Structure 1
Amino acid sequence: MTTVILVVMCVVVGGLELYAGRQSKDQQRAFVRRIDELNDQVTKQNSVLVTVGEQLTAELSKVKREVLPALDSRLRQNTGQVEELAALVHQADEYLRAQSTRLHDLEKQRVTLAALRRKLSEVETSVRSVTAAGTAAVEGKVDSALDRLSEMERSGTEILELQRTLTRTLEDVEDVVAELLQFTEGELDESVTSALTGQPRGVEGDAAAVTATGRLWTRDDQLDDILAEVYERCVRTATLTVRFRTVEGPNGSGPGAPERRRYFLAGHNMEDLAGAFTALLISTGADIPHNGNGLSRSRPVLPQGVETPRQPEDEAALKALLRTLYESSGAVAQIGPLMAVRTRDELFCAVLTPVQSLELESDEVYWDPASATVRLRRLPTHQLWDLTTWAATP
């Protein structure tokens, strides 16, 4: 029995030893695995540390290469600015010292002025006591002096107005003299050319000689300058030259009255101008609607993309002049044989012969739109154009 127990105990002890050995082997394997894992982690951390070290080295190199020189330059700049600020502070200190000295001087002057004020008060008191009897006479003299000063001031204002008027008059005279000089120079050049070439005047000097006259007048002061500009543009497009111009009032030179403008033109004779203006008025009159149907002259249909041809410059300038005249309540424009008259209700154009022009000038109807309209209505139909409807059409 004892033997059996011993055998059983030996078997149990052997089993326990086997179990303990197996457990120790498992623990050993787990410990080895743990060591391997730790070794892997250490290796990874070493590689990370190497990478971080390389980055730190690169950053340090960059700092040494870029940041430190920039810091050095900025430090030098800041040092220069500090020195400039120190100089400014020094200047401000000197300025404050100078101001302090000046304030001290002003304080002395204030004390001196206070003493002078007291002295003047004493003198004024003594003077009042002496001149109390003659105060009325002095006040009368003062009033007379003030009245005299007022009169002198009014006289000065009148003198200034006269000077302005004289200046404007002198400017007008200078313009007239300049045009007279230009006209005289042209005549002199023509005479010299005629004497040198042996040809009579008028053969080569037709372009410079005065061959036509012009007139311009409007009742509306606001349109005066605009109408003059459009009129002179029309003259230029008609290849005419303004040799001389005058400006006057209805009875000489009345202030505030509508100005009468006279033009002396050169470049073409009356016959050529009459033909040219007749052609332009025929072209303009062709745009007037007929029979109340609102249809104008037929225009050719152009292909798509082709622009409408522009009007000739002389035709466009004449139409601009006529439309500007239509905007006025009363106006007269003459360019050689061409005469345009605008009344409050009508706009007429006519091409006159030299005889008809002389008759209108002798009867002095050029400056009266109503009388001029009555005379123009007596002309033959081929010389007269009623452009009221044309001008009213936009």
Structure 2
Amino acid sequence: MTVVLVLLCLAIAGRELYLAFERRHSPGAPEIADIRTQLRALKGTRDELEGFRASQRERLDRLTAEQDRDREALGAADSRIRSLISQINDRLLPDVTARLKQQRDAAAEQRDALDRLAAEVASLRAHLVGRLDQAVAASLGAEPAELVAGALMADPPDARPALAGPYERFAEGYGLRVELTDRDRYFLSGRSPRALERDFVDLVAALREDCPESTGKARVLLGALRGVERGGAQIGPLLIVRTPAALVCGVVPLAELRRPEGAVPLADPSGAARRLHRLPEGRFCDLSGWSAGAPAGLSE
């Protein structure tokens, strides 16, 4: 046993001597060992870097996939929004626009109605003031004011405003002024019915003779009436009636106008035309042969 221990000690001592000898003859061994250690460390770092790159690549792939899904979702939402906007434009917007237009039209009609009402109130006030002035003058001994009835009708009714101007200018040409209007009715003052009857009989005679010099006041009104299908005008005893087939005028005697049954209703142009045809020749004129294209009633 002792021999074995001695031999073992000798072997260990020999190994140590050999290693010491090797270290003396290999001066770079520690550096090599250090390099090997660093290489092992670098290899570990490279493995960690590869793992990090792989994890980042996976994360980037996930983010890209999420972005694609978000982009698709945004595209779908944008399509739905565009569809809703299109439906609103196609369904709601026309309805809203139509309602706004109706409201604007209604507001415009209300303004027009208020303007007409204000004008009528002003006209009534002026008429009342005029009548009061006449009453004051009559109380001081002046002659009472002369007043005659008139009327103006047209079918279709939309054509009536175009007749009002020629009618009122014609009345003004015979010394009359409009005191008051009530729908189709006129109340005019300034001349006596008897004086107007004489003037209108002369006018009818001049129209039969086609005398432009003495009928210029009437030709504008006659030409305007020719432009409507049905209608008529009355100023005191003078009546002008338009039917689809005729244009006639006449001077009704004042004695007939004073009778309740003597009135000639312009609401029935055909009946009024037949009534005028029964007048004496000196009070009636048929203007149906006048050229439809002649300006302001110029004859053929």
The alignment status of 1:264 with 2:179, answered yes or no, reads no
The alignment status of 1:170 with 2:106, answered yes or no, reads no
The alignment partner of 1:271 has SS state of helix
Distance 1:279 1:167 in 2: 45
Distance change in 2, residues 1:226/1:159 (3 Å)? closer
Pick one of 224, 244, 256 that aligns with 1:324. 224
Given that residues 360 and 366 in structure 1 are in contact (C-alpha distance below 8 angstroms), is that contact kept between their aligned partners in structure 2? no
Q: What is the CA distance between 1:325 and its match in structure 2?
A: 2.1
Given that residues 205 and 283 in structure 2 are in contact (C-alpha distance below 8 angstroms), is that contact kept between their aligned partners in structure 1? no
What's the TM-score once normalised by structure 1's chain length?
A: 0.47
Pick one of 213, 235, 247 that aligns with 1:311. 213
Distance change in 2, residues 1:176/1:237 (3 Å)? same
Could you give the per-residue CA deviations for residues 74-112 of structure 1, whole angstroms, max 9, x where no partner exists?
Answer: xxxxxxxxxxxxxxxxxxxxxxxxxxxxxxxxxxxxxxx
Aligned pairs, number: 218
Partner of 2:174: 238
Q: What is the CA distance between 1:178 and its match in structure 2?
A: 1.6
Given that residues 256 and 263 in structure 2 are in contact (C-alpha distance below 8 angstroms), is that contact kept between their aligned partners in structure 1? no
The alignment partner of 2:265 has SS state of coil
Pick one of 182, 188, 192 that aligns with 2:136. 192
Distance 1:163 1:361 in 2: 45
The alignment partner of 1:284 has SS state of helix
The alignment status of 1:273 with 2:186, answered yes or no, reads no
Partner of 2:38: none
Give matches, 1:71-150, under 5 Å.
none
Q: What is the CA distance between 1:212 and its match in structure 2?
A: 0.7
Runs of 5+ unmatched residues, structure 2:
1-69, 74-87, 291-296
The alignment status of 1:284 with 2:173, answered yes or no, reads no
Could you give the per-residue CA deviations for residues 272-303 of structure 1, whole angstroms, max 9, x where no partner exists?
Answer: 11001001111221x25xxxxxxx9xxxxxxx
Distance change in 2, residues 1:156/1:238 (3 Å)? same
The alignment partner of 2:129 has SS state of helix
Distance 1:357 1:170 in 2: 37
Partner of 2:143: 204
Q: What is the CA distance between 1:263 and its match in structure 2?
A: 1.3
Distance 1:368 1:216 in 2: 12
Distance 2:111 2:261 in 1: 33
Distance 1:384 1:319 in 2: 16
Q: What is the CA distance between 1:365 and its match in structure 2?
A: 2.7
The alignment partner of 1:191 has SS state of helix
CA RMSD of aligned residues (A): 3.8
Partner letter of residue 197 of structure 2? A
Runs of 5+ unmatched residues, structure 1:
1-124, 129-144, 248-260, 289-295, 297-309
Could you give the per-residue CA deviations for residues 27-79 of structure 1, whole angstroms, max 9, x where no partner exists?
Answer: xxxxxxxxxxxxxxxxxxxxxxxxxxxxxxxxxxxxxxxxxxxxxxxxxxxxx
Distance change in 2, residues 1:363/1:230 (3 Å)? closer
Could you give the per-residue CA deviations for residues 9-31 of structure 1, whole angstroms, max 9, x where no partner exists?
Answer: xxxxxxxxxxxxxxxxxxxxxxx
Pick one of 236, 243, 253 that aligns with 1:343. 243
Pick one of 357, 363, 372 that aligns with 2:257. 357
Partner letter of residue 167 of structure 1? R
Partner letter of residue 183 of structure 1? H
Identity %: 26
Give matches, 1:51-90, under 5 Å.
none
Partner of 1:213: 149
Partner of 1:73: none
Pick one of 100, 103, 128 that aligns with 1:159. 103
Pick one of 283, 293, 297 that aligns with 1:383. 283
